[in-house]
Amino acid sequence: MSDQSFTFYRPSPQLAPYVRYYWTLRSSEASSALTFPIGCPQIIFHRKTTFFIPELSTSQPRLTISGQVNFPAHIRTTGELDTIVAVFRPHGLSMFIGPMLHDFYNMEISGLDIADREIDRLDYEIGNCKDTPTCVSIIDSFLLARLKTMQTGKHSTMMALNHRRLDATVTRILNTPDTRMDELHELSCLGKKQFERLFKSHIGMNPKEYSRIARFQKSLHLMQRHLDSPIDYAEISHSCGYSDQSHFIREFKLFSGHTPTELLSVTTPYSDLFTNPLL
């Protein structure tokens, strides 16, 4: 992409357990980019043109709830962009829209289709906002108010407990993506089926598939850190818990569309899941 401007913003401290960061993109030209499964749901606000996703044969709605995906995408734009994105922690978005993330799996859903008047009003405010920093502030204030409501509602105790359970299991997956599934449900203090239902409804895919996404993102991160020296793919394969290098290459190609060496000639490896652009 050319002639574009990225800016990153921190969420309010109260939102940090749920929202990783906000980013904005302004661009005056048609553009394209290869994207990968990142393991984090997002809410996307398009104030001008939107992203077209050829793999889904669709353009994102003006206000998009983007769930977990398991495929690479070649997103395109056809004109001027003014886009704001809230990037949530893997289990964070459910705190604001409820445990319905499985409905957004491999989907780009309009936020106006979930019958939420507050989100409808947020969409209107962002569409009529004059500048980007004010838009980010409006989104942050909306999420703070929604969080307060969820934390004081009649199901708040169970939601807080489920968040702690998922926080523990997601942390384990990110640290050790090849953790066995029985260890994860034992860590959550839930039975296997109950844990899998909870995980899928709050994160958007089953824990085994999510672990594969995390392992892929970890391999991207290791490649990203060693761009100035020869990349040891066998070491990356071992560090990420793949059974062997062939397994690593197959999984990498599934989620990126390229082998690791091919990707280096297409784009610079970058892990959205393991990189914090605000640090």
Pairing assessment for the beta strands 42-46 and 31-35 based on DSSP bridges: unpaired
Do 60 and 83 reside in the same domain of the chain?
A: yes
Same domain, 15 and 48: yes
What predicted TM-score, i.e. pTM, was given to this entire model? 0.95
Look at residue 113 and tell me whether its pLDDT is greater than 70.
yes
Q: Is the per-residue pLDDT at 94 higher than 90? A: yes
Is 274 a member of any domain? no
pLDDT over 50 (residue 99): yes
**What are the φ/ψ torsions at residue 9 (nearest 5 degrees)?**
-130, 145
Q: Are residues 190 and 225 in the same domain?
A: no
pLDDT of 196 reads: 97
- Asked if 160 and 235 sit in the same domain, the reply is no
3-state class (DSSP) for residue 38: coil
**Do 129 and 227 share a structural domain?**
no
* Residue 99: φ, ψ to 5°: -80, 70
Flag whether pLDDT at 134 surpasses 90. Answer: yes
Closest by alpha carbon to 264, among 238, 235, 229?
229
Q: Going by C-beta distance under 8 Å and a sequence separation of 6 or more, which residues neighbour residue 224?
A: 268, 269, 270, 271, 275
> HEC states along 179-204?
CCHHHHHHHCCCCHHHHHHHHHHHHC
* Domain of residue 137, residue span: 4-152
Q: Please report whether residue 272 resides in a domain.
A: no
User: Based on the domain organization, do 137 and 100 belong to the same domain?
Assistant: yes
Asked if the model's pLDDT at residue 96 lies above 90, the reply is yes
At 149-180, the pLDDT tens digits run 988 887 889 999 999 999 999 999 999 999 99
Per the structure, the count of domains in the chain is 3
pLDDT in the model for residue 9: 98
**What is the CATH number for 94?**
2.60.120
- pLDDT for 1 equals 41
Tell me, what's the pLDDT at 24?
97
How confident is the model over 12-71, as pLDDT tens digits? Answer: 999 999 999 999 999 988 889 999 999 999 999 999 999 999 999 999 999 999 999 999
